Amino acid sequence: MKRKLLSRILITLLGAALILWAAESLALGLFGERTTAVVTSIRREGGERADVLTNRYTYNISYTFILPDGKEMYGFTKEIGGAVYLKTNGTGRIAVRYFKIMPYINTPEGNSPFSLGPLILTGTGIFLIVQMNRKKS
């Protein structure tokens, strides 16, 4: 009985975390401050992805931006791309959104809030919570 209760709690917490992640992405897109960041590194992660399409790789893209008070902030994102990619030379720039009161929470503007990602995260979170907490007949 305790094991079932623990699994229900953990999966419900996972569903809530997915919903919060989607809400954070949406809030950054709507209310976040916009600035320009410099791409500091692009690194290919692991080998070829096990996708249907061939020659697909996961890339870690690191960037840095300066706040209005002069403090330097760092961030990173992951992207999926082809086998050919460019090395950084310190001139690549991307648009970034961040919360003014918590600039360490930031994301590239390309991860827009009006994409399918936050909807899928929210739907998955709601599904997990409902399925784990519904009354059995």
For the chain, give me the number of helices (H) and strands (E)?
2, 5
Closest among 136, 137, 118 to 21, alpha carbons compared:
118
Dist. CA 15–CA 52, nearest whole Å = 28
Query: 62: burial class by Cβ within 10 Å (0-12, 13-18, 19+)?
Result: middle
Tell me what pLDDT residue 137 has: 65
Whether the per-residue pLDDT at 98 is higher than 80: the answer is yes
- Model confidence at 115, pLDDT cuts 50, 70, 90, reads confident
On average, the pLDDT of the chain sits at 89
Question: What digits encode the pLDDT tens for the residues 20-79?
Answer: 999 988 888 889 999 999 999 999 888 888 888 888 898 999 999 999 999 999 999 998
